[in-house]
Structure 1
């Protein structure tokens, strides 16, 4: 018979903390927790144990350490029931390997997934409530059955099933997700059965990357995006599903998907279902963005190259809509040049253009650097790179100073090459979902592209961003000043031109960044000058930067 241990800080003879109970527990023990709030991390490693609230719903567990999961299970066999678990920047409940049953619990994690399952775990969730978290439930490289669970008020995706995971969602309710309700990619045989999914910021259910789920008798409604979207190369079945008050078409099946849509005994799609061979373009927005691009100072060659790319993409979409053959075009780009030459601004505009062209579903822009992609131990880099791609999905992943990935960090094991190799695979696997732009100095980017035999071929084109001329830097200074409600005083243009002409422009010269830093120093000098007037300055004086301000700024 299993031994039962009671946890209660107030009751004589009971153990005061959950940790004390775990240390005393033998195999198969039951830990019964008295009502109350317990501020301690619960770490279970290679144990078979049951942890339950003596009175369901009366036990709250929080970790005092923000960067640790509140309840973590590693290669254990665990049952959790009746608990309210709160996380912060790490999951409220994290299951790594082993098996777990989680019944009638609630989980919340402000800046992480409420429940994260991985490393080959086998988990059953039933009757749980997941809310107020960055992500709701993540199942990765694990098996899970999720029944009669409620997920609501999630910032990003409510449910993510990915990277070899197999999950069955049954009779679940998803309400209020900032991005997708259920998102599956590179997942194994999974299913979504009789679930109610509503009030999502994007698609109610999104299937991508060779995933073939069975989606049966689901009700998807009141979504900002389409009800159900299926990417190229995916399969599975959509059967007897109802899609209401969603973006058109209600069910979006990309060209090249093998998904079968059934309604009852008939092979007819639900109302609103469409198999698409072309994407909707927003010509007004395209023209607006191209006008913004043309309005940028300098960058003549870059603007011409971007226009040529957009022209090709747009014509290809027109050809596709007419049933004509279209050559595959990569949306990935290389930006080379010195800092401050507009690479980030052009990358954002390019992403918005792809959205307006219907190539990418949103204008999301995710900027990362080496520290966001390279891990500190084996396997960590793949996880970080996949996470960055996931965050950029539907938009642009901008990797600044990408050449640093091909350079050793100088401290022990370096996983930069692993990051590059992972990028190569992800760029191919997600070529229709993420546009990757890598940026850095011209010569160093050549070394980066040579770091993996397949890397250079992933990019459509290299765009060279030239240094701004002194005249262009003066124009940029005026533009920046006007944007902050300042004016350049008399003869200041000539003085700025002289300064930018004679200033040392070595490899580290920041171009537009130098102009911005100089203006910041000039505003500081102006403030000192105006404070010494002995009176309140006029409106014009408050707005005008003078030659004296420049001379004082360049003396710093």
Structure 2
């Protein structure tokens, strides 16, 4: 951050001819000055305004600047530029370093303690922080609006967030370790656009990486593990990409992307070494793994993918393969992820080269059944034709057979039309029928050849209360709400209670409860008589959940 213009060379040391304190040296410094600091402890705080100055520890010296007990930062730079090399900073009641519209360079520095962020970088001036260790503060590093580079730095043991990047900032964060944070490892918000590459995030109380407020980060080759929340979360309206990142031992889903977010997930780096060449397949499997629960379903789908992949390899090798239908039965209660898995299955078939398009067409009884003889066959054939090249998903398929034999229902006609088309076009379309387990048995009995058209039946079990708690938490995070951890037992008890209801809706019940909690929060905030703070707007309290559960 310094320029080629030379400044004064000054020495801080406890000997004649040197400056006894850093403050004394700064009072004599001119623009571009380089201050070499001899080994020792210096109990002072430093302010740099409008000039460029470098403070560097003397060779092999241990320099400790102790600002503990002061009500101001250990170092504050306003305008100009500040370079710190090989210096240890101690803080407690204030920040260690604050740069306001000042270029900041920190190289091989150690920062310990601090109220609020240990290091704050604000404004439009570029920064460089490399090879540093920042520990035991309320927050690690806050970057607001500034471009720059953060590399090979460790942020550890924070009571709050590790690294916060906001207000349109677009730094490159590379090969950093963030661990032991009470809240999130990375918090990216307010239109921030960082590149976060090769970083390790572990042991955080909440999400490993949380993205909010229309931010669009690029995440490459990061590892997130052992965190209390989901590994990576993209909130509503956010974009960006996740490439070749590993998410292990986190809350489910490992990667949570809000419905209105446009972030993409790619399991392998298309430009990097070791690429598998099956990027679409890897991406879809990562999407499947990111779903909450469903271990049996995931295993069944992966087994199907393995079989289909080997069949494709045998075909390319000129070896014989057996005829395979891609039609499936998804049996289980509503709200257990059947539709989502069906969508992923279509994408997997496309990635494997089995279906040319992989598009998803969801229909129900009303889309297939007509109002007069012959009309149903026509509607069903039209829908089937439109689904060619992808997945035809028939939800609540058992309703087609509910009134079979009554003479006044045309659902049976739809079934009889589908059976020969499923066989004739088995390589062109995947038909997935879904519904309650018991009712699907009656559906399969409606036509003698129907059951044989399906290659596999996959059972979707009800979500457990713990899984529904994770789903609720995912919904809250996607909406950029901060759920009070004390609400967990209230939610668990509620889900345990409703799971025994005959009309239990699984994730649908979690969605309904979340919407009611949002309404309860809105009513509570309206009673404040003032505009709430950002923290209050994000906070979803236990009382909000209690009110929602009682409705």
Give yes or no for contact 1:115–1:138 (8 Å, CA) kept in 2.
Answer: yes
1:204-259 deviation digits (Å, cap 9, x = unpaired): 11111111100001111122222111112111000011112222221111221111
Q: CA deviation at 1:270?
A: 6.2
Residue pairs, 1:56-135, within 5 angstroms: 58-63=62-67, 65-135=69-139
1:168 is aligned, of 158, 168, 172, to: 172
> Does the 8 Å CA contact 2:118/2:139 hold for their aligned counterparts?
yes
State the partner residue of 1:5.
Answer: 10
User: How far has the Cα of 1:273 moved from its partner?
Assistant: 4.3
- CA distance in 2 between partners of 1:209 and 1:67 (Å): 32
Query: 1:55 Cα shift?
Result: 3.0
1:32·1:53 contact (CA, 8 Å) conserved in 2?
A: yes
1:263 and 1:123 map into 2 onto residues whose CA distance is 31
CA distance in 2, matches of 1:438, 1:288: 15
Q: Deviations over 1:397-420 (max 9, x none)?
A: x89x944x5xxxxxxxxxxxxxx3
Which residues in structure 2 correspond to 1:254-293 (within 5 Å)?
254-264=258-268, 265=270, 266-267=279-280, 268-269=283-284, 271=286, 273-274=289-290, 280-282=467-469, 285-286=489-490
Return the offset for 1:125.
0.5
Equivalent residue of 1:133, what SS? coil
Query: Could you say if the C-alpha distance between residues 319 and 247 of structure 1 is closer, same or farther in structure 2, counting changes exceeding 3 Å?
Result: closer
**What is the alpha-carbon distance in structure 2 between the residues aligned to residue 133 and residue 125 of structure 1?**
17
Is 1:221 the counterpart of 2:225? The answer is: yes
Higher Rg:
2
Q: Shift of the alpha carbon at 1:37?
A: 0.5
Structure 1 pair 12/90, CA: closer, same or farther in 2 (3 Å)? same
Report if the CA contact (8 A) 1:402-1:438 is conserved. Answer: no
For 2:255 and 2:539, the matched residues in 1 are separated by 21
TM-score (norm 1): 0.54
CA–CA distance in structure 2, aligned partners of residues 436 and 328 of structure 1: 9
- Alpha-carbon RMSD across the aligned residues, in angstroms, is 3.6
Aligned equivalent of 2:521, options 306, 318, 332: 332
Which residue, out of 318, 322, 331, partners 2:508?
318
Cα pair 2:252 2:291 within 8 Å, conserved: no
Distance 1:178 1:19, change over 3 A: same
1:250/1:142 CA distance change after superposition, 3 Å = same
Show the 5 A alignment for 1:143-292: 143-264=147-268, 265=270, 266-267=279-280, 268-269=283-284, 271=286, 273-274=289-290, 280-282=467-469, 285-286=489-490
Give the C-alpha shift of residue 275 in structure 1.
6.3
Residues 153 and 269 (structure 1), Cα distance of their counterparts in 2 relative to 1, 3 Å cut:
farther
1:263-296 CA-to-partner distances (Å, cap 9, x unmatched) read 22413156464368999534994478779xxxxx
Partner Cα separation in structure 2 for residue 191 and residue 146 of structure 1: 10
Q: 1: distance between equivalents of 2:113 and 2:78?
A: 19
The verdict on how the C-alpha distance between 1:438 and 1:118 changes in structure 2, with shifts beyond 3 A counting, is farther
Structure 1's 273 and 56: CA in aligned 2 closer, same or farther, altered over 3 A? farther
Asked if the contact 2:518/2:540 (under 8 Å) is kept, the reply is no
Q: Which runs of 5+ in 1 are unaligned?
A: 292-313, 336-397, 406-419, 440-460, 462-556
Change over 3 Å in CA distance of 1:329–1:114 after alignment to 2: closer
**Gaps in structure 2 of 5+ consecutive residues:** 1-5, 271-278, 293-334, 338-462, 473-487, 496-503
Is the 1:255–1:275 Cα contact (8 Å) retained in structure 2? Answer: no
Contact 1:166-1:187 at 8 Å conserved across structures = no
* Farther-moved stretch of structure 1 (46-55 vs 107-116): 107-116
- How many angstroms apart in 1 are the aligned matches of 2:140 and 2:19? 32
